Structure 1
Amino acid sequence: MQLLRSYGSSIPQLLLAGLVLSDLGLAVPVQDSPRQYLLAGLDLPPKYTKKVKSPYNPDYRDPLDSAVDAVGNKLDPLPYRNGLGASVLGPWNWERSRQSPDLVRPPSTDHGNMNNMRWSFADSHVRIEEGGWTRQTTVRELGSSVDLASVNMRLDKGVIRELHWHKEAEWAYVLDGEVRITAIDYEGGNFMDDLKKGDLWYFPSGVPHSLQGLSDNGTEFLLVFDDGNFSEESTFILSDWLAHTPKSVISKNFNLAPEVFNHLPKGEKYIFQGSYPGSLEDEQPSGKNVKKSKYNFSHRMLDQEPKLTSGGEVRITDSKNFPISKTVAAAHVTIQPGAIREMHWHPNADEWNFFIRGRGRVTIFAAEGTARTFDYVPGDVGIVPRNMGHFVENIGDEPIEMLEVFKADEFRDFSLFQWMGETPKKLVVDHLFKDDPKNGEIFWDKVKNAEKDEVTLPDSGKEIPASDNTDEL
């Protein structure tokens, strides 16, 4: 992006070069979407211009269970699959079915009972306050989210989320705008920082802190707490505490006359319009016994050098590079169109997902022949329980940007591809290709180098075509 800003007059040429290299199968950081081709003055490739065939009719056959982008292709999902199913006669929520086509017509590989693993923040209650709002997704909204809970919060310019603390640790990702955070540590040292989009903060249990919107349009961020039972209503708030403490006690505590406190707030302020702050230097406390914290409660996640994969980018932030974050680890993942977050599992914690942009599908394998597929759009939360195998497939025409968050001190995952390559050839072939040695050789030749490619783009960069036995729209 810096390169594009520096050479603004050459944007079409840069996009052209990137798209050409992308079509050649080279890993370059290009957003492969219709908009990027049009900005570069290029004709749309066939994958964006070909006539879409509807899979939602009784004659359609697809033994590969290929993904369907019902939103992008403006399709109305119906419960037909490979000659089975029927139309819908009763009430039907078309908008929701477009967002979850794999619930309407599950892949033939789905089987058994599984708890719901998807929730949209659009279905969460919004609490509206002066200059801001907040909404939460906890175990009460998403019953499978037992380890982590989340809050989506918006603060306008100068608006304050008042001084408070929690029983739970708080991890946060800035979705947009700029925010100032303040805190004190367990040793009484103070901390202040100004954060931008893509930055993090982490406050351990009990650490008091505040948040304030800075940029012209304020800020919006995602908060994650290390207990699924968390409630934003159970926060310990400064004004609420003093409103429920006798004035005589407050007077003694601060060694001031009781009348000094005659006009304290009569209840919690929670979110309110505050005075716009000066610079960090100007606002730094300077009393006789004031000291700065020796801990760093913030981290620039998107400023990390990403791991470039064949189909996207991965940035991992955990206690190894953000030492204060002892109970939450996370990954920021970008998945280009046509790519997948490879088949894998996490041995140390449930995976809590938040989709920032793009459209994806996830199939979760829970052992005992149980598997279920869910679809996700921006603003959705997903859960994958610990050790359950899964993937994330980009089914849309723009990159997926998502967060993988874990109640753990370190990010850990096992790659199916890497596992196969690290296992003796005869064992692998005997397991999967005992009666098909020819394809067993093809498979082994592919996996033998045991390459871990977290976000994988097929060599052709194209979807495997489904059966031609379809009806056009």
Structure 2
Amino acid sequence: MHSAIQLLLVCGMLCPSSSTLQDRHQFQRDQVSDPTPGPPMLELGSKTATFIQRWSKVAPITYPGGTYKYSNIENFPGSPGISAALISLLPGGLRELHWHNTTEWAIVLSGTCRATVMESGKDRPAETWDFGAGDVWYFRPNEGHMVQGLRPGCTYLAGYDDGSFEDRESLSVSAWLSTAPARVVAQGLGVTEGEVTRHLAADTFTFLPLGPALDTSLEEFRAHIGRPPQQPVLLTHRFRLAQVTPEVSTAGGFVSVAQVTNFPVSTEMSGALVRFAPGALRQMHWHPGHAEWQYVINGSLAAGVFMKPGVYEEGFLGEGDAGYAPKGSAHWLRNTSNDTDAFMVLIFDDGTFTNIDLPWLIGNVDPEVTATSLNTSVAFAEAIDYTVPTMVPAHSHYPTSTHGSSRTGNATKFGR
């Protein structure tokens, strides 16, 4: 799994402090192949949603503490169930204390950050950890939390279980206290009204402010908490995804999963880190209980989503792009490179990761049933290899390009 951590660091080149981070990367940009040019998106039928977002083309918004960009139904209408944010923090940059109605599942792509989460309850349990590349956190709805960049900065991808959510609309402590009456704030904080008016500017919303770069250890930070928690949390909010044994590992790649069975606090969302060997295919499949939001860390992937008879979409995802597969939709992903691995983060809007692969579907019935369903011969049904794995290695039977596929010959082309 060490190669996964190294390739995750490629994403560090997307953050504003990349010049300071590049020296730390084993994999430089010239070692990552440019996305393979492909045809326009193809549409069969007239009601196909767009399940690919050129998120790599969306410019981030710059704040004193770092940069931010979001993906939700406003700029990615095909993703109604899951939204996301890509946040880069400078050393000392702070995603200020805030909370929101949505669940947050996040993975650190590069660098190091420190995060604190506060749960509800009379004993006020709280938890603070340092997170490195490949680490995941999970915050339940309306749990107060913050994230601060440590040296040399960090970039993290956060997913939310609401396709309309945008992180700048979270309830934040800066906006709240600069809006509330000074008399109320003074009484609530045990200070004078004059101190409030001198130190808290009215109508202030900092979002990503820049503070001092922290040089304190995690233990020192915990020791200086103004009001220490009376008890620790029952379930940790941190998971070391890049260090777990992959749930699936073949010559075609691996799938490492963080879900409620190995990350018990994450009851409403789960996620995965996927490696695609050159030319490898993520087996044709669907998820019975959740949608899938996709982010390409590096490389270029062909993708297809099947919604119902006559409604099918196919396209390409490059580095930094996002994709989506609605719950129950049949879909697949394939590395278009013949010599470079591709890595992807998957985010799901359910705490349990479930899927049904094509070989499993058609292999659990008599070959005559399979042949009848596919309108083909029994000989073909008996020739199928029903043991093809979840991550399928490149094979001579699989084409290296989807260009000119006869299955999309009647499609209506539209520009991207």
Give the Cα separation in 1 of the matches to 2:231 and 2:402.
65
Q: Distance in 1 between matches of 2:221 and 2:102?
A: 28
Tell me, what secondary structure is at the counterpart of 1:140? coil
Are residues 1:418 and 2:356 paired? no
Counterpart of 1:54 in structure 2 is: none
Letter in 1 for 2:368: K
Instruction: Quote the residue 1:242 is aligned against.
Output: 177
Partner of 1:111: 44
2:16 counterpart residue number: none
2: CA distance, partners of 1:233 / 1:131 = 14
**In structure 2, distance between residues paired with 1:157 and 1:238:** 21
Alpha-carbon separation, structure 1, partners of 2:280 and 2:180: 57
Match status 1:273 vs 2:213: no
What residue number does 2:111 align with?
Answer: 177
For residue 2 of structure 1, report the CA deviation from its aligned partner.
6.1
What residue identity is the alignment partner of 1:221? Y
Q: Check 1:165–1:466 CA distance in 2 against 1; reply closer, same or farther (3 A cut).
A: closer
Q: Secondary structure at the match of 1:366?
A: strand
CA contact (8 A) 1:124 1:137 kept: no
Structure 2 stretches lacking a partner, 5+ long: 4-26, 404-416
Q: Distance in 2 between matches of 1:452 and 1:316?
A: 20
Choose which of 205, 223, 236 in structure 1 pairs with 2:141.
205
Deviation, 1:186, is 1.3
How far does the alpha carbon of each residue in 1:342-398 deviate from its partner, in whole angstroms, 9 at most, with x for none? 110111122111111111111211222221211100111111112111111111242
Match of residue 256, structure 2, among 287, 308, 315: 315
C-alpha RMSD of matched pairs (Å)? 2.6
Shift of 1:126: 2.5
1:357 and 1:288, CA in 2 relative to 1: closer, same or farther beyond 3 A? closer
Of 287-296 and 256-265, deviating more is 287-296
- Match of 2:49, SS? coil
Q: Which one-letter code corresponds to 1:215 in the other structure?
A: R
Q: Secondary structure at 1:101's aligned position in 2?
A: coil
Where does 1:154-233 land on structure 2 (aligned, <5 Å)? Answer: 154-187=88-121, 188-216=124-152, 218-233=153-168
Relative to its length, the structure with more strand (as a share) is 2
Equivalent position of 2:302 in the other structure = 361
Of the structure 1 ranges 182-191 and 266-275, higher mean CA displacement relative to structure 2 is found in 266-275
* Paired-residue identity, %: 25
Q: How far apart in 2 are the matches of 1:461 and 1:429?
A: 20
Query: How far does the alpha carbon of each residue in 1:326-354 deviate from its partner, in whole angstroms, 9 at most, with x for none?
Result: 21111211111111001101111221111
Partner SS state of residue 242, structure 2: coil
| 2:240 is aligned with 1:300 | yes
How many Å separate the matches in 1 of 2:228 and 2:56? 48
Q: Say if 2:220 is the partner of 1:282.
A: yes
| Letter of the 2:132 counterpart | K
Conserved 8 A contact 1:239-1:265: no
Q: 1:291 Cα deviation (Å)?
A: 3.3
Q: Post-superposition shift, 1:455?
A: 0.8
Amino acid at match of 2:96: E
Contact in 1 for aligned 2:336/2:400 (Cα 8 Å): no
Task: Give how far 1:460 is off.
Answer: 4.6
Q: 1:461 to 1:426 in 2, by over 3 A?
A: closer
TM-superposed deviation, 1:427: 1.4
Report the Cα distance in structure 2 between the residues aligned to 1:117 and 1:209, rounded to whole angstroms.
31
Contact 1:364 1:384 in 2 (8 A): yes
CA 1:289–1:153 in 2, change beyond 3 Å: closer, same or farther?
closer
2:266 corresponds, among 313, 321, 325, to 325
How many angstroms apart in 2 are the aligned matches of 1:433 and 1:136? 44
How does the TM-score come out when normalised to structure 1? 0.72
Task: Output the CA distance in 1 between the equivalents of 2:398 and 2:283.
Answer: 16
Tell me, which stretches of 5 or more residues in structure 1 are unaligned?
4-30, 37-68, 73-97, 468-473
Partner AA of 2:188 in structure 1: N
SS of match in other structure, 1:141: coil
- Asked if 2 retains the 8 angstrom alpha-carbon contact of 1:418 and 1:452, the reply is no
Q: Which residue is equivalent to 2:413?
A: none
Task: Tell me the distance in 2 between the aligned counterparts of 1:223 and 1:150.
Answer: 5
Contact 1:310 1:453 in 2 (8 A): no
| CA offsets 1:102-137 (integer angstroms, 9 cap, x no match) | 43xx4xxx5213111111223435321113110101
Greater shift in the superposed pair: 282-291 or 254-263: 282-291
Deviates more, 1:205-214 or 1:229-238: 229-238
| Structure 2 CA distance for partners of 1:137 and 1:429, relative to 1, 3 Å | same
Residue 289 of structure 1 deviates from its aligned partner by 6.4
Residue 389 of structure 2 is matched in structure 1 by 453
Aligned partner (choices 289, 312, 316) of residue 375 of structure 1: 316
- After superposition, the Cα gap between the structure-2 partners of 1:207 and 1:337, relative to the gap in structure 1 and judged at 3 Å, is same
- 1:268 CA drift (Å): 1.6
- Greater gyration radius: 1
Q: Secondary structure at the match of 2:346?
A: strand
* TM value normalised by structure 2: 0.82
Which of these residues, 320, 330, 344, is aligned with residue 402 of structure 1? 344
Q: Distance in 2 between matches of 1:177 and 1:137?
A: 22
Q: Distance in 2 between matches of 1:466 and 1:353?
A: 20
